[in-house]
Structure 1
Amino acid sequence: MERAASVISSLLGGGGGSGAQAATVKSVLVYPIKSCRGISVPQAPITATGFRWDRQWMLVNSKGRACTQRVEPKLALVEVQMPPEAFAEDWHPTPDDHMVIRAPGMEPLKVPLSVECATISDVSVWEWTGAAYDEGAEAAEWFSTFLGCPTRLVRFNEDSETRLTDPDYARGYKTMFSDGFPYLIVSQVPTINQDTGIPSPTEPTETLQTYRSGEVLLRSHKNKRQVYFGQNAVCKESLSANGEGRIVKVGDPV
């Protein structure tokens, strides 16, 4: 984990490498709603809990338990759109700014980014249970209709809740609705087109926007049907005041 953290630190310009550029950031993916499609962005500000907007929202079932692609694979079809300026360093949403959600057969759903919501308790994901903002009846009806079961959209309540990472691996760090750690690093070995033998110009980035599947990323591996997660990581920069305002950009040296 320390090695993974140092990779992120190097990516942000704080590393202690030899000076030789071994690789560059190929893509930055942010997943505003846990288990829905990700957004490929040219840059993303870092925060104490991961990239800004990443896994701030989550779907829960009637018992308040996290609903993910593990049990609802249709979530891979849900597209999320944020205002382009949402990933600028000093941008703050207004009441007119929305997250727009789309899915096959459904009208677009607009979720305000700056409107205060009521809170609900007993929301849980893995080991954590706490309170979260409830995005309301319209969002609940939209997702319940699409998935065919009672579902609500909730947002992490940073004002009252803290979810710590596993202290055995990264003591003192925190995250929101990600599985366990605020960052994920995946090395991009070109995926070879099985018909032409030519490296794909879009993979594995295209697959990672939807789901992390070894079906595309590890096609020759005996466990190719497993979900591919890469290296979970934390970012040392996010613990200090010096980390504020730092941005990861596509093309940054690693």
Structure 2
Amino acid sequence: MGEVIAAAKVKSIVIYPIKSCRGISVLQAPVTSTGFRWDRQWVIVNEKGRMYTQRVAPNLALVEIELPNEAFAEGWEPSSNSFMVIRAPGMDLLKVSLVKPRAIIDDVSVWEWSGSALDEGDEAAEWFSNYIGKTSRLVRFDTVSQTRSTNPDYAPGYKTMFSDEFPILLISQGSLDDLNMHLKEQIPIDRFRANIVVEGCKPFSEDLWKEIIINKLTFCSVKLCSRCKVTTINQQTAVANPELTEALKGFRSDIILRPNNNPKGKVYMGQNLVWKDCYGEGNGKVIRLGDPVSVLRQVSSTADAAA
């Protein structure tokens, strides 16, 4: 295995139950084959079954999600009294049962994937339709009948639910601190919607990591995260400001970082992960705040990382 380098520790863990809505900061989170439990398990879709995200509905940034505290204990299962609670400005509180619904909706699509999903019912549909201002339904990934594979060019054999591409996104506090030195107005880490934030390493160290261990769980870094319009949206106000994109173009674009790799003007912030041993057996598959992050393998430069 070679030398194991203690590189950082886990500063925060965030779960995003509904795609493009606010996350939940937790003390610990169980890891599954599709990422953290509950993460991007729900998505809001239009009348054609296509996903809504902050790209077209920026006010989703203001939708707050609450799950029972015990939902993040390993092995916990919901009962008829277990709910996801949803709040948003100007809206009544919405409660969605965590017991899986029976109704199925077909032709749901998230990026390249399409399939069926579990329909959370008319009350949730009306709530999101009123909030977004367009016909909407809230649906849940059907883990029993559906599979959404990750891009086989980067992570063959792995799967996710309704995340953009891969199950887990990691970023370092040092990277954010470095970025903020390039900005007129400081931004918080929530702009990047990462699941794991680590601290104690140099800025952009995560670019180089190929294989890491957190609490005896091994994760593979599969692709630098190219950033989109959502990072420009203030997650507290839902107002966009293009300054962030312009700043990233100045020092985090593929033109600068990867000039010999067919650059296309993408900008990078964060690293996508898959859990290497996700189909193994046993307990203890939990990541906690403060867990050390050790590097098993890394590349020598960002130009050598997959992107």
Q: When the two structures are superposed, what TM-score results if normalisation uses the length of structure 1?
A: 0.82
1:191 counterpart = 2:177: yes
Separation in structure 1 between the aligned mates of residue 281 and residue 53 of structure 2, nearest angstrom = 34
**Equivalent of 1:205, from 189, 208, 233?**
189
- Alignment of 1:147 with 2:138, yes or no, is no
RMSD of Structure 2 on Structure 1 (CA): 2.7
Q: 1:55 aligns with which of 16, 40, 54?
A: 40
- Matched AA of 2:140: R
Bigger RCO of structures 1 and 2 (CA < 8 A, at least 6 apart): 1
2:25 to 17, 24, 40: 40
- Using a 3 Å threshold, how does the CA distance of structure 1 residues 219 and 26 change in structure 2: closer, same or farther? farther
Partner of 2:289: 250
Given that 2:101 and 2:120 are in contact with CA atoms closer than 8 Å, whether structure 1 keeps it comes out as no
Q: By how many angstroms is 1:22 displaced?
A: 1.7
- Structure 2: 5+ residue runs without aligned partners? 195-229, 234-240, 253-265, 294-307
CA distance in structure 2 between the partners assigned to 1:209 and 1:49 by the alignment: 17
List per-residue Cα deviations over 1:90-143 (Å, max 9, x = no partner): 211110010000000001100000143300100011111111000000000000
1:119 to 2:104 alignment: yes
1:233 is matched with which residue: 273, 279, 283?
A: 273
CA distance in 2, matches of 1:234, 1:71: 28
Aligned to 1:129: 114
1:74, 1:166 → 2: CA distance?
29
* Structure 1 residues 151-190: aligned runs within 5 Å: 151-189=136-174
Using the size of structure 2 for normalisation, the TM-score is 0.68
Identity of aligned residues (%): 56
Q: 1:179, 1:159 → 2: CA distance?
A: 20
Q: How many residues align?
A: 231
Per the TM alignment, residue 205 of structure 1 is displaced from its structure 2 partner at its CA by: 3.4
- Deviations along 1:71-96, one digit per CA (max 9) or x if unpaired, are 11010010100101100012111100
Determine which structure has the larger strand proportion and give its number.
2
Q: Which runs of 4+ in 1 moved over 6 A?
A: 214-219
CA distance, structure 1, for counterparts of residue 90 and residue 270 of structure 2: 33
CA offsets 1:40-84 (integer angstroms, 9 cap, x no match): 111100001000000000000010001111111010010100101
Out of 142-151 and 166-175, give the one that drifted further.
166-175
Q: 1:30 to 1:89 in 2, by over 3 A?
A: same
Contact 1:66 1:124 in 2 (8 A): yes
